[in-house]
Amino acid sequence: MEKYQIKGGRRLSGKVEISCAKNAVLPLMAGALLTNEEVLIKNCPKIVDVYSMIKILRCIGVDAEFIGNDLRICADGLNSEVVPFSVAKELRSSVFMLGVLLAKNKRAEIPYPGGCEIGLRPIDMHVASLKSLGVVIEEDGGKITCDASNMKSGVVYLDFPSVGATENLMLASVFTKGETIIKNCAKEPEIVDLMNFLNGMGAKVSGAGTDTIKIDGVKRLHGTIYKPIPDRIEAGTFIIATAITGGEVEIFNVNPENISSLIHKLCNNTCKISLNNDIIYIKCGKSRKSFTIDTNPYPGFPTDLQAQMTALATVCKGTSVITENVFEMRFKFAKELIKMGADIKLYGRTAIIKGVRKLFGTTITAPDLRGGAALVLGGLVAEGTTIVNGVRHIERGYDGFENKLLALGADIKKI
Ligand code: EPZ
């Protein structure tokens, strides 16, 4: 099991280039199946989740391989609508296969995407929405079998603006005759990216980024070359890493609008942040003030930056209060920060964090992707050496994480 060894106390400084967004690329990879022509996803991050998705595509006959930094996908060899458990178990985003296989072949069989470290992550809204459009769905023995031969257009109202359910419905409806409307849909930037990608292939999708998306069915889609949006969560992670080390960093290839809630939160703290198109310049002092955060669906504060902000809060003056409103088990990493001397008390979905003078390096374990990133941030500021186990969690969503931190002056290496 690979680990990170981090010697804390270094201020981050220099420049870092953000990769394209994991949470944009994964639904795009599924969307590429909606044509038999070649699709090229430019500057695709080489992260574990992308390789897991490549495995899923290949096992149903789809060509998927990196050509340099671009990911080439060609689905003209698609030969099955059954996604085996052996490949789907590694990746929750296998659920996107439901939508594309129903659109393309009117049939799909996928294993129940497991819950994960941050919650049960059911797909009841995906299932209920598809059923309301006429898809016949059987759920038994840990798998879902779907028949979309009588799928029709219609209006779907999501009880919660689920990112995955919104994306699955968009993918499932591109060929459905008539107009399908998704109300109370997710508004994340990755949803807008999926709309732009699909429209670039000849789809007719509108409204992404608002609470109502409309999909007018078309007969077929053609290939495309598409560059996904920058990863707002990776960018946010480096911004918080700069804040926790009192550093001075220029972050390239980022859309500041997509992380305005974080920028607003830190500007009111002690960070000097200036924006210039797709560059964020951030300079932070050592005297950081405590803060309050409630995570919410976009444009609220992103749940995927909650753990990183909790790490920052451990060394801010005063008491911070962070409430996680999106996932039910997203504070597992807190006990690892407590081993480093953090003062964190959990009350259900709320963490009360009393700032301490310093954290101390020790051996800790990443429980999940963003919790793991938070532990690395703790190690950057801790006195002494921190060993973070479970690097594989972190490599699911960050491309070259330790090399980017190393280039900013951190003392970090994989051992
Ligand atoms: C996406 O997950 C992201 N993953 C997550 O990023 C992100 O945290 C989440 O959206 C929220 O922004 C990808 O895009 C690949 P949801 P998703 O459906 O689609 C519940 C990361 O760290 N729910 O909006 O699974 C669900 O349990 C990952 O990069 C149901 O109850 O999120 C959760 O509590 C983590 N029933 C809440 O809704 C459903 O049918 C939000 O889930 C669907 C969801």
Q: Which residue has the tokens 């003030």?
A: 289
Spatial distance between the Cα atoms of 117 and 328, rounded to a whole number of angstroms:
10
Q: What angle do CA 257, 199, 326 make, to 5 degrees?
A: 45
Indicate if ligand 1 lies below 6 Å from the C-beta of 47.
no
Centroid of ligand 1 to alpha carbon of 261 (angstroms): 19
Ligand 1 lined by 393 (C-beta under 6 Å):
no
Q: Give the model's confidence band at 409: pLDDT under 50 very low, under 70 low, under 90 confident, else very high.
A: very high
Compute the distance between CA of residue 385 and CA of residue 44 in angstroms, rounded to an integer.
Answer: 33
More confident site: 393 or 288: 393
Q: For ligand 1, atom 27, which residue shows the shortest CA distance?
A: 121
Report the pLDDT value the prediction gives residue 114, as an integer from 0 to 100. 65
Q: Does the CB atom of residue 58 touch ligand 1 within 6 A?
A: no
What value does the mean pLDDT take over residues 16-42?
98
Residue 168 CB less than 6 A away from ligand 1: no
Sorting pLDDT into bands at 50, 70 and 90, what band is 233? Answer: very high
CA of 391 to the centre of ligand 1 (A): 22
Does the beta carbon of 23 lie inside 6 Å of ligand 1? yes
Closest residue by Cα to atom 22, ligand 1, is 304
pLDDT of residue 287: 81
Helix (H, G, I), strand (E, B) or coil at 157: strand
Q: If phi over 0 gives left and psi between -120 and 50 gives alpha, with beta otherwise, what is residue 183?
A: beta
Q: CB atoms < 10 A from the CB of 253, how many?
A: 17
Q: Which residues contact 188 (CB under 8 A, 6 or more apart)?
A: 23, 163, 297, 298
Q: What percent of the chain has pLDDT over 70?
A: 99
Question: Residue 160 — very low, low, confident or very high, per pLDDT cuts 50/70/90?
Answer: very high
For 49-59, the pLDDT digits (tens) are 999 999 999 99
Whole-number Cα distances in Å, 77 to 57, 73, 330: 10, 11, 39
Distance 339 CA to ligand 1 centre (A): 29
* pLDDT surpasses 80 at 116: no
Q: How far apart are alpha carbons 163 and 59 in whole angstroms? A: 25
Residue 53 or residue 286, greater confidence: 53
**Separation of alpha carbons 61 and 33, rounded Å:** 11
| pLDDT higher than threshold 90 for residue 264 | yes
Reply yes or no on whether 116 is catalytic: yes
Scanning 208-301, the segments in alpha helix (DSSP H) are 232-245, 260-267
Atom of ligand 1 lying closest to residue 122 CA: 36
Q: Round the average pLDDT of the chain to a whole number and report it.
A: 96
Q: Which two tokens stand for residue 331?
A: 């504070």
Q: How far is the CA of 327 from the centre of ligand 1 (A)?
A: 8
pLDDT at position 103 over 90 = yes
Catalytic residue among 116, 185, 267, 284: 116
- 312 CB within 6 A, ligand 1: no
Question: 256-264 contacts: CB < 8 A, separation 24 or more?
Answer: 256/280, 258/189, 258/229, 258/230, 258/232, 259/232, 259/235, 259/302, 259/305, 260/299, 261/299, 261/300, 261/301, 261/302, 262/236, 262/301, 262/302, 262/305, 262/309, 263/239
Mind listing the pLDDT tens digit for each residue in 161-201?
Answer: 999 999 999 999 999 999 999 999 999 999 999 999 999 99
Span 317-330, mean pLDDT?
96
Whether the per-residue pLDDT at 158 is higher than 90: the answer is yes
Give the Cα-Cα-Cα angle 104, 106, 112 (nearest 5 degrees): 100
Q: Return the top range by mean pLDDT from 90-104, 107-121, 288-302.
A: 288-302
Residue 108, both tokens: 């799909």
Q: How far apart are CA 320 and CA 334, in angstroms?
A: 14
- pLDDT for 115 equals 61
Residue 211 has pLDDT above 70, yes or no: yes
Q: Is there a contact between 260 and 302 (Cβ–Cβ < 8 Å)? A: no
